[in-house]
Structure 1
Amino acid sequence: MTSVFKTVSKWLEVPHPILSCELRQVLESLLEVVNSILRLEEIENEKALREIVSKLPQVSCTYTNDDAGIVKVTFLSLEFPSLDTNRFVYELFDRFVLSKSRCFELESKAYTFEFKAKDMPRLYVADYLIHLSEKQSYERFKEKVMILKEQLRLALLNKNFSFRLALSHHVRLDRKITAIHSQVLRYIEEKGEEFDTQFLLDVDRWLMVFSQDFLEKRSPLLLAKALFNLISIRRELEWKETIDSSKRHIQLSFFPSSLSFTFGTKPVLGCTIGVGLNPSCERFVEKHLSSALEAVIPSANLSISPEVHLEKSNIQMMYVEFEKEDGMRFTDEEIDKLKFQLPIEIEARVQRFVPELFMVRNEEEIMKNILTLTKEIRSAEDFPQVTVRYEQHDEETLVFCVILVRILKEGQDSVTEAFSKVNHSLTLIPERTQIVSYLGGKDPVEANVFRVQLSDVNPFTRRNFSFNFFEARHHVIEVIEAAVGEIRDYNGGMILKQSENLVRFKQAFSEVDSENPEFLEKFFYSLNPIEIQATIETESLKLFFETFSSLLEAEEEGFFSYRFHRKGSQLFLFTRCNDHHFRTAFEEELEKQDLKHKLMISSSLLHHGFRYEGVIFDNHEEIELQLEGILKTYLKHQIKPKVLNLNLETKIFLDPRIGGDHQSSMINKMLFEGLMRLDEQGTPQLAIAEKVEVSDDQTRYLFTLRESYWSNGMKVLAEDFEYAWKKILSPGFNTRFAYLFYPIKNARLAKEGQCSVDEVKVKALDDTHLEIHLETPTPYFLESTTLGLYSPVNSYIDRIHPNWAQERGDRFICNGPFRLRENRSFYAFELVKNHRFWNQDSIKLDHILLSRVNSRKATELFCTKKLDWLGPPLGYGRSNFSQLGEKIHYLPTTKSLWYLFNNQIFPFTNHKIRQAFCLAVNRCEIIGTNRDCMLPAYSHLPLNHTELFRGHEGMEENSERAEQLFKEGLDELGITKREFPQVTVIHYNSEASNRTSHLLKKQWREILGISCRIEPYEFADLFERLGRGEFQVGCFCWISWINDPIYTLNIYRNRDEKLNVFFWEDREYQTLLDLADHELDLDKRLEYLHEAAKIFSNQHLILPIYYEYERYLKSENLQVPIINNLGFVNYAYSRFK
């Protein structure tokens, strides 16, 4: 040998039994590799070194099968240059693995060693002994270790990456993040330049800016390219800013890409944008970019909202993706056009802004202008005299104040009437009309003061989103001339009084002023008429504000409320309302009842989403009664929006082809309508189908569709059903629910790739007729079509925009009772009534708001009447329901709790062992005090299908028989009870399943004398593990969606069924189900199903524990009429009493 370790013999004598074994194995394998490489004399040491380096780092992670829960982790690596390798590796292991897991370190040892040969690198080995808590998943722990291994590999390739690892403490690590890092390093290498550690830290900063949802939908390659360009462009622009800060620097980078979705891909054009801005007075946001893009390519849109980050160097960076309306790729010519023109359009749309000008109207100036204009009228033939003055603006409106003085001729229309006869887009807001003098003692001179509001400011908006004042004013003049004829466009002591009053007002409420001075100013300047701000008595102002405050602090959350207050000679009234039309309606009623001229002061404010209207009258009892009557009449005729508030506690999939789980299906039934739907008794009724014809042999169904529409106005076609169903049956689409379509002829063959999807016997004969052929008579087929999975999707939209299900608002296309609205903060989803729904008259709700908060917050919301339903099916049942003092309701379901035994894994390969576990239970102890909502289950079939069994079919509890069978099973396996392995039970992380699993653990220990380990998982993780067969004993909650026992029995018909986690099948079992499929005599069919159920039950693959009636709480006045005996709740048809 040309090379040996200096101290190998010393290390091989490490005394710790576990560590020495693992370390010996690592070192001996390393020696074997080195010796095998260096045994040949012609191989140079340098070449051997490259071979060794290419295999490092290596990590071993081993879980011991004893009760202690010990994991051994061993790292073997090269030393990291310029770093304390032992400290570096240990801190990373502690930060990314230990601190993220419920575990603690028992012991660790680390060594460095080197070869005698010249230029051979130093190697590093570390051995850790870790104790995992009972609830910790070893697989997740191992996954973190393997991700760390990949990060260490990247650190060996790039020393700056190792420095970045040492400095970065907040970035999350998973396989995708690691893949992004790896690709970024490749780009750096391809660039041929040395990028410092800060570049890699900037990558981490952007990864924290990107949302998890954004990262999940994009490939590591696309994300790495975007990140590399974002950081490179920023550095380039910083350099340009340093050279010449007088110019606006803009730089873009384009790269065509595509996004992958479940049912297709969507071409997009990724774009990184860097813009130099002065953040104190400039901004560039999504609407500016959208406008710039539209100017270059009108058919292009933003596919996503930009991911934005404003650097301290005044460089705003953003990443965005463009898409075309027709769903096609951008051509090379279009990309070249964007490269040339988009920077020009972006520069033109950078918006400059200045601090808002706070200015109140000077009434003295108004009067002065009126007098000045009055003097200009010298004869009855003179034109009306007008001044138009800028008043205020926001991003959507522009307001001018107009003073118009004219000779009032007999029979002449008022200014308001004149404006109403002209076609214009202005909003006229009259303020006063009065006679100011008489010309020659006989012709009255009328002065009009009013405001005009331009609500459509687009014609006057420049590209940088500033307003062109002169054009807007000119438009106002044109409208005035069209209304009153030819005009002459004419073109301070009250302020002091206003200021003095404001000071006294603030002094009276100094505590409020210290906390929020602008709030008092907002109230003060809301007083109308304007001159009253200078003349109102401080005491009256205080009382007016106190009336407002009493309403502001009121606890009730009603959409309309009001407060009266009387003091001396004055009557104060304030109202709160979320109806922006209230003010107009209120003023009209004051006019009708001859109260408007008696109005002394008014106020109007918008605060926290509510509009507050205040008035002051002379204190007369008659006036108060009139006002009370006006308010009560308004309240009587107002219809409060009917809003149902629900809470979600699971992940929801809004594409009906994907949302096969119970919760997603219920949400999808609010958004989509299928051929049939269930009525209140759970019976299928016609929905989109107007008529259905069934052949005599019950294998052909012809559905005639009624006229109905998608939310975007397109007609719902028969093709939309065919398209959606065949997408689910495509061999490449991974779903566990395809079996629901197997009654359709050739559906199974198509899913298994044995025939084309086109051969599936679902055919749109024309726009309104859908023909379906079944393999055999299927009594429950019509009921199947009520499921969310049988919903249609808009085939046209799905082809060009396959990501429609991730959209919100109008871009989410549905055909159900409700449509999806753009999300607001706090709400997971907001649904609004779909006015294109064919049966909208049956829908009594206006909105359904779905929050996603934890159990504690959900309970709090329900108790404060901000949530209308607490518990299943969208949430979880809780044992503390009885403590809330509310009436508990029970939801009939087909839900049953099973424990599954993996017959593919030792020791449950033995039938007697499985049978012993099934008998060694005490269901009464498990059910405990929950007898009001649980019944013991002795069959794996739902409760309403257990009439198939005459007795418990071998599932009865029998501890003595269990012990005997367990002993016989051990003998057959050739092991003793002491050698029987610890059993891991995985279950869904909920209160009920956690309690049940621990009770089973206790019972099996007492009866069988075995040890169990309990591991909780989130539902999605549990479902995946069961599907992959990665379990010994697994807890599973089964719900039958079809009121027919064959729905449950079909799961185990074939070993390759997605839900057949046992990979079990039986020829006799299959024959009985085949006979049942073809049998038209229902009694005979039931006998076949009975025999099949017994065959499966006798395998003891499933231990049924209990049937559950789910408990929930609901608002007292909420009625949910459609609740069938399968536990499906159709919230769309809910109503409030």
Structure 2
Amino acid sequence: MKKIALILLYFTFLISCSNTKTDNGLLINIGPEPKTLDPTYTETYDGSAYIAHTFEGLTSRDKDDKLIPAAAESWDISDDYLTYTFHLRTNAKWHDGVPVTANDFVYAWRRAVDPKVASSVSYQLNPIKNAAKIINSELPIEELGVKALDDYTLEVTLESPTAYFLDLLAITIYSPLREDIINEYGDSWSQKKYIGNGPYYVSEHINNDKLVMIKSTNYWNSENITAEKLTFALLDNPNTIVSSIENGTLMFGSNPPLQDIPKLTEEGYIDYVPLLAIYFLSVNTTNEVLKDKRVRNALSLSIDRNYIIKNVTKGAETPAAALVPPPVYDIEGSFRENGGDYFSTKEEDYAKNIEEAKRLLAEAGYPDGKNFPVIEFTVESESSKNIFEAVQQMWKENLNIDTVVNQLEWGVFMQTTRGDKNFQIARSGWMGDYNDPMTFLDTFLSYSPQNTGSYYNKEYEDLIKSALTNGDKVSRMQTLHKAEDLLMADMPFIPLYFYSRVILVRPELKGVMISAVIPPRFFYAYIEK
């Protein structure tokens, strides 16, 4: 019966999407029904994608993923890098024609840090003066370091110099909001009167079916927006998405089943987007055995990352021999390319890695794994369990170390690893919030909620804190490289691979803006005849 229901659902979808190119504009899929379309609360990839089409912050990113002015046409930065003065476009309008003003940003950012609103992503505003104290209920929202000097001039004061602040302004939570609409409709405004200031307005939203967007003639740059109409099919069934791509009903999709990737690649529908994200194993550095960095380095070196990527994940990931991913910028070029790898991930060097791992383990007092206790690996999903089972076999074969797997339900897993920190080794990972090394390196500060392994090194803390307050971009980046050097020598985590997002694209679909930082945008997308 389930199979019949799936077939009926698929054909219903095909019928509803007939005459796609004429009736529905570009039919695309980013994900299922979003949890919310409110910029203050959105923390998901698909939710951010929809909002990127309907809202616009002070800055944005162009076709080449470079930062550009958006709602702000220019800005001035004080000599101490603490005060930013933004000059808004006087021709920027909301979808209903009302002018976008500096007060719309003041209201939105105060709402985001308001502890009564309780946004789970409010920490993204922490660089702004007093934001953290307001979030923690220590100051009123009026003390946030942002004010409207007039309708089109916004002044922002930071806690300390923040080199990546302009990049932050391009993410969802920094979007402006209409106080009059939210006052009238409350938190349900995004369902009742969803008005943004971006290239598209929502003309129709049918839950779990589709989200239709039309180009806004009130958008300041509408004449340069190519796609007149976008229909986001809110699909969550990967088999339906794949079939719809293959028959041309759908132009763009994501997350195909792993077993279908070889066939879809051969058919020319697969593309890979490198992401600001890393998959790693979190190591509890307070554990009696694992607190020895020689042990942690031995466990890391004995893993064949190429085998995992080729035979388990199969998503064109990149083996990770560091923390900061390749797409992250340096002063010039890539931070990763400039910093290099901290051990070899070349297949021909794996045997040497194993020998070094054995040497380190013996030096730590466990020759050939003798007297090494059974290690428990905590995991939250079947896919992560499959990855660790490969690691489990490598540790046994190469180091004679035994392990057991403890698979937990998601909520219990989060409490165990992040709340109680009651684990030995656990599946973990991180996706950066902005394109700067700091979004990865500061997660290993002692007070970071992402530091599940309880890592602490005073020298590392001092380096990161120095970089956080350094307004000189060159010396700041040199400090961040030193910090990663120290982190990787300590190895408080075990890097496995850098993520790539697998996407499905019809060959005739052109002009999609693909970014490692933010979700794909279809402003300039078109179908090549």
Corresponding position of 2:38: 655
Structure 2 runs not aligned, ≥5 long: 1-14, 327-333
> SS of the counterpart of 1:801?
helix
Corresponding position of 2:307: 925
Is 1:760 aligned to 2:139, yes or no? no
Is 1:679 aligned to 2:62, yes or no? yes
> SS of the counterpart of 1:894?
strand
Render the CA deviation track for 1:395-452: whole Å, top value 9, x for unaligned.
xxxxxxxxxxxxxxxxxxxxxxxxxxxxxxxxxxxxxxxxxxxxxxxxxxxxxxxxxx
Is 1:952 aligned to 2:336, yes or no? no
Identity within the alignment, %? 23
Corresponding position of 1:1091: 482
> SS of the counterpart of 1:677?
strand
Query: Following the alignment from structure 2 to structure 1, what is the Cα–Cα distance between the partners of residues 489 and 33?
Result: 35
**Cα pair distance change 1:1022/1:941, threshold 3 Å:** farther
How do 1:258-277 residues align onto structure 2 when only pairs under 5 Å count?
none
Is 1:698 aligned to 2:81, yes or no? yes
How do 1:267-346 residues align onto structure 2 when only pairs under 5 Å count?
none
**Cα pair distance change 1:1048/1:826, threshold 3 Å:** closer
Indicate if the aligned counterparts of 1:913 and 1:970 stay in contact, CA closer than 8 A.
no
Render the CA deviation track for 1:760-783: whole Å, top value 9, x for unaligned.
211122322210122333332211
Is 1:750 aligned to 2:134, yes or no? yes
Render the CA deviation track for 1:618-667: whole Å, top value 9, x for unaligned.
xxxxxxxxxxxxxxxxxxxxx76522321415854321122133332222
Is 1:986 aligned to 2:369, yes or no? no
Give the letter aligned to residue 1069 of structure 1: Y
Render the CA deviation track for 1:117-174: whole Å, top value 9, x for unaligned.
xxxxxxxxxxxxxxxxxxxxxxxxxxxxxxxxxxxxxxxxxxxxxxxxxxxxxxxxxx
**Cα pair distance change 1:733/1:914, threshold 3 Å:** farther
Query: Following the alignment from structure 2 to structure 1, what is the Cα–Cα distance between the partners of residues 188 and 145?
Result: 27
Is 1:813 aligned to 2:204, yes or no? no
Corresponding position of 2:6: none
Shift of 1:995: 4.0
**Cα pair distance change 1:965/1:893, threshold 3 Å:** same
How do 1:107-256 residues align onto structure 2 when only pairs under 5 Å count?
none
Corresponding position of 1:1011: 403
**Cα pair distance change 1:756/1:966, threshold 3 Å:** farther
**Cα pair distance change 1:928/1:825, threshold 3 Å:** closer
Shift of 1:784: 1.2
Give the letter aligned to residue 209 of structure 2: Y
Is 1:1046 aligned to 2:438, yes or no? yes
How do 1:843-992 residues align onto structure 2 when only pairs under 5 Å count?
843=225, 844-871=227-254, 875=255, 878-884=258-264, 885-887=266-268, 888-903=270-285, 908-909=290-291, 911-928=293-310, 933-943=316-326, 944-947=334-337, 949=339, 951-952=341-342, 958-963=353-358, 965-966=360-361, 976-977=371-372, 980-990=373-383
Query: Following the alignment from structure 2 to structure 1, what is the Cα–Cα distance between the partners of residues 249 and 432?
Result: 32
Query: Following the alignment from structure 2 to structure 1, what is the Cα–Cα distance between the partners of residues 460 and 37?
Result: 36
**Cα pair distance change 1:716/1:1034, threshold 3 Å:** farther
Give the letter aligned to residue 729 of structure 1: V
Render the CA deviation track for 1:196-239: whole Å, top value 9, x for unaligned.
xxxxxxxxxxxxxxxxxxxxxxxxxxxxxxxxxxxxxxxxxxxx
Shift of 1:753: 4.0
Q: TM-score, normalised by structure 1?
A: 0.40
Is 1:1113 aligned to 2:494, yes or no? no
Give the letter aligned to residue 1083 of structure 1: V
Corresponding position of 1:827: 209
Indicate if the aligned counterparts of 1:832 and 1:846 stay in contact, CA closer than 8 A.
yes
Query: Following the alignment from structure 1 to structure 2, what is the Cα–Cα distance between the partners of residues 996 and 692?
Result: 47
Give the letter aligned to residue 705 of structure 1: L
**Cα pair distance change 1:806/1:927, threshold 3 Å:** same
Indicate if the aligned counterparts of 1:916 and 1:965 stay in contact, CA closer than 8 A.
yes
Indicate if the aligned counterparts of 2:273 and 2:503 stay in contact, CA closer than 8 A.
yes
Indicate if the aligned counterparts of 2:514 and 2:521 stay in contact, CA closer than 8 A.
yes
Is 1:997 aligned to 2:388, yes or no? yes
Indicate if the aligned counterparts of 1:703 and 1:770 stay in contact, CA closer than 8 A.
yes
**Cα pair distance change 1:994/1:1129, threshold 3 Å:** farther
Query: Following the alignment from structure 1 to structure 2, what is the Cα–Cα distance between the partners of residues 649 and 786?
Result: 23
Query: Following the alignment from structure 2 to structure 1, what is the Cα–Cα distance between the partners of residues 360 and 403?
Result: 17
> SS of the counterpart of 1:783?
helix
Q: TM-score, normalised by structure 2?
A: 0.81
Query: Following the alignment from structure 1 to structure 2, what is the Cα–Cα distance between the partners of residues 859 and 559?
Result: 16
> SS of the counterpart of 2:276?
coil
Shift of 1:732: 5.2
Corresponding position of 1:774: 158
Corresponding position of 1:1060: 451
Query: Following the alignment from structure 1 to structure 2, what is the Cα–Cα distance between the partners of residues 976 and 801?
Result: 64
> SS of the counterpart of 1:1112?
strand
Shift of 1:1124: 3.1
Indicate if the aligned counterparts of 1:894 and 1:1127 stay in contact, CA closer than 8 A.
no
Query: Following the alignment from structure 1 to structure 2, what is the Cα–Cα distance between the partners of residues 1118 and 763?
Result: 43
**Structure 1 vs Structure 2 CA RMSD:** 3.4
Shift of 1:678: 0.4
Structure 1 runs not aligned, ≥5 long: 1-553, 561-638
Shift of 1:904: 5.0
Shift of 1:1065: 4.2
Query: Following the alignment from structure 2 to structure 1, what is the Cα–Cα distance between the partners of residues 458 and 440?
Result: 17
Give the letter aligned to residue 64 of structure 2: Q
Give the letter aligned to residue 1043 of structure 1: N
Query: Following the alignment from structure 1 to structure 2, what is the Cα–Cα distance between the partners of residues 789 and 737?
Result: 8
Give the paired residue count: 491
Higher relative contact order (CA 8 A, sep 6+): 2
Shift of 1:911: 4.3
Give the letter aligned to residue 283 of structure 2: F
**Cα pair distance change 1:1080/1:1118, threshold 3 Å:** same
Indicate if the aligned counterparts of 2:102 and 2:152 stay in contact, CA closer than 8 A.
yes
Indicate if the aligned counterparts of 2:309 and 2:315 stay in contact, CA closer than 8 A.
no
Query: Following the alignment from structure 2 to structure 1, what is the Cα–Cα distance between the partners of residues 299 and 323?
Result: 15
Query: Following the alignment from structure 1 to structure 2, what is the Cα–Cα distance between the partners of residues 839 and 1023?
Result: 43
Query: Following the alignment from structure 2 to structure 1, what is the Cα–Cα distance between the partners of residues 412 and 209?
Result: 25
Indicate if the aligned counterparts of 2:20 and 2:26 stay in contact, CA closer than 8 A.
no
